[in-house]
Amino acid sequence: MRYYYDLPKQYTLLSGKTHICDHPAYDRCTLYLLDGKGLAVIQQRFNPIDKSTIWTEIDPWLIDEIFFNKRFKQYFDKYAGPPNIDIYPTVTVRQIMWGVRLKPLPKEPWETVFDRKPS
């Protein structure tokens, strides 16, 4: 039996921020910054009108849930880095949720994945 992340009734926005950049795969992400290093987190969205998908910032109720997780700092230290022309190392929301051992979001049939782990 699979269990998925449940949406909270209340949430705060204390940690990550929306970052606009010129990355080839996305133009907006949720950026976590600590000690001069950053980690961009993206989530895929579906447009039912033209059946396309885009990568963008993560859902607001996930931002602090991920940041205040006890395993976040260890994950951040492993994958975060300084910006390269305003582009930070990037992971998907599903990768970071698995990395910090949060229940994942339900997988949608239209979702695609990045084939490799962040280096």
Each residue's pLDDT, cut to its tens digit, for the chain (119 residues) gives: 456 666 666 656 678 899 999 999 999 999 999 988 999 999 999 999 999 999 999 998 899 899 999 999 999 999 999 999 889 999 999 999 999 999 888 888 888 876 556 55
- Residues spanned by the domain of 86: 17-99
Q: Is residue 110 part of a domain?
A: no
- What pLDDT shows up at residue 4? 65
**Residue 61 token pair:** 């109720």
Residues forming a β-bridge with 82: none
Number of structural domains the chain divides into: 1
Examine residue 108 and state whether it is found in any structural domain, yes or no: no
- Give the model's pLDDT for residue 69: 93
pLDDT at site 107: 84
Contact 100, 66 (CB under 8 A): yes
Cβ–Cβ < 8 Å for 19, 88: yes
119 located within any domain: no
Whether residue 106 is contained in a domain is answered as no
Any domain includes 4: no
